[in-house]
Amino acid sequence: MKQFVGKTKNITSPIIGKITKQNIIRFWERSNYIIVSETFIKKKKYAAQITKLEDINKISIKKPIVYQVNELDIFNDGDIILIDKDGLITFLFENEENFNPILVTERCNANCIACPQPKVQNEDDKSQLNFKLISLINKDAKTVGITGGEPTLLGRKFLLLLEQIKAQLPKTNILLLSNGIRFSDYEFTRKLYLLYLQNLQIDIPLFSDIDSLHDEIMQTKCFYNIISGLYNLAKFNFKIGLRIVILKMNYQRLYQIAEFIYRNFPFVYHIAFIQMEVIGLERKNIDKVWINPLDFSKELERAVNYLYNRKMRVSIYNSQLCLLPKSIWRFALSSISSWKRIYLDICEDCDIKDQCGGLFESSTDYLKNILHPIRETVSLAN
């Protein structure tokens, strides 16, 4: 999540609110809004104010304020932020992003060797915060994500959260990122079905077609639970996505994984092959998991074409076009969030930079020596 820091006054507990720069919000609605301005706004009732003022000691201020924030351009009307008492500003929802993840828990029932969001054992309950967040999201939001940790560990609160999204955002697509273990519980899966969430897609990782390798990567014995969960979801006609993160441990079996999916899960809606982001446990276990994208390009090309030729929807996430065979450029989506995405100096000489999704800043050290500009005018549609 994008974060910035300022100095605070009159903030003793966390504040969540929707950004406005207009100062035209009706007074009975202002308690849900945080106003952003270069100067001090005297109007009351706003949940808080964010300003670039350097010194507020000469002003009589009783309401919560964050000052000495110079990057006011990063705030957009409709963004939803959380301010803590120390002045840390966390963006919970960015109005101009197509996809916004809601972190519902940091607990997990697996311990994936390449997890970008390492689990925690003890945490504060995020439910009330997320209920408030959902109530503030604009009704025309395209997609919200539910992520963790493992969201299904919340049990009843997880179902209540989805119920609120359905009620508050009936036209918004919901993308649930889950490890899939809990769906081996038929009754739990049935309860989820009874919410009748027409806009829900559930994406589940599949690291291998071999049970022992899959469980080694997830560091828990769960392969057959996930398989059972996929079939339970299929019984209720859920829209299912499968995600294959490409690691040193599994890249040689990408084709076999594709074949396994086609033969066993023809009902899945979408399959994504994902180039890893070097953060969290991925960085800690870098020697075990990192693989140069050039070293798996042929395996990826073969797997993607296998699924496409069998009329399955397939995409590639987080990859750079210059590191992919040209035959599969059209499957590469711009999947990196704008605040995480960068381009290196060498990318400026590339003729198709505007068609490439860039790279994670955290992956720079691992990619900078292999990226190269493409010197031809092409289109991904060709």
Q: What is the pTM of this model?
A: 0.93
The mean pLDDT of 257-269, rounded to a whole number, is 98
The mean pLDDT of 79-98, rounded to a whole number, is 93
The mean pLDDT of 180-197, rounded to a whole number, is 98
Which homologous superfamily does the CATH classification assign to the domain defined by 99-367?
Aldolase class I (3.20.20.70)
Stretch among 34-48, 63-77, 271-285, 332-346 having the lowest mean pLDDT: 34-48
- Select 3-92's CATH number: 3.50.30.10, 3.40.50.360, 3.40.50.2300, 3.40.1110.10: 3.50.30.10
**Tokens in use for 371?**
């990226």
- Cα(343)–Cα(361) distance, rounded to whole angstroms? 8
Task: Using pLDDT thresholds of 50, 70 and 90, give the confidence band for residue 49.
Answer: very high
Stretch among 32-36, 61-65, 102-106, 299-303 having the lowest mean pLDDT: 61-65
Strand (E) positions, the chain? 3-5, 7-9, 15-20, 33-37, 48-51, 65-67, 80-83, 88-93, 99-103, 143-147, 173-177, 200-205, 239-246, 270-275, 314-317, 341-342, 359-360
Q: Give the per-residue pLDDT at 53.
A: 86
Task: Using pLDDT thresholds of 50, 70 and 90, give the confidence band for residue 377.
Answer: low
The mean pLDDT of 107-125, rounded to a whole number, is 89
CATH 3.50.30.10, the chain: domain bounds = 3-92
- What percent of the chain stands above pLDDT 90? 80
Q: Give the per-residue pLDDT at 96.
A: 87
Q: What is the mean pLDDT of the chain?
A: 93
- What percent of the chain stands above pLDDT 70? 98
* Res 376 pLDDT > 90: no
41 or 251, higher pLDDT: 251
Per-residue exposure over 270-293, b if at least 16 CB sit within 10 Å of its own CB, e if not: ebbbbbbbbbbbbbebeeebbbeb
Q: Give the per-residue pLDDT at 55.
A: 77
CATH 3.20.20.70, the chain: domain bounds = 99-367
* Res 207 pLDDT > 80: yes
* Res 381 pLDDT > 70: no
The mean pLDDT of 103-125, rounded to a whole number, is 90
**Tokens in use for 158?**
């997880």
Q: Give the per-residue pLDDT at 304.
A: 98
How distant, in Å, are the alpha carbons of 122, 165, 347 from that of 95? 31, 16, 28
